[in-house]
Amino acid sequence: MILKIHKIPDKIIFRTIFALLILWNLKYFFLIFQIPFTLMFVDYIKNNAFYSQISDIKNSIKDIKDFYDEGKTGFVSDIPQASVFDIEDSIRDFYLTQYAVVPAIVKNDTDEVYVVGYFTNEKDANSVKSHKVLKKINNRTYLYKKIKAEK
The residue-averaged pLDDT of 17-34 equals 79
Domain-by-domain residue ranges, the chain? 45-146
DSSP annotation of 48: H
Helix, strand or coil for residue 72? Answer: strand
DSSP annotation of 114: E
Query: Model confidence at 39, in pLDDT bands (50, 70, 90)?
Result: low
The residue-averaged pLDDT of 117-127 equals 83
Amino acid at residue number 79: I
Given a contact cutoff of 8 angstroms between Cβ atoms, the answer to whether 131 and 146 are in contact is yes
pLDDT of 57 strictly over 90: yes
CA distances from 55 to 3, 19, 24, 91, 144 (A): 81, 51, 45, 18, 18
pTM beyond 0.85, yes or no: no
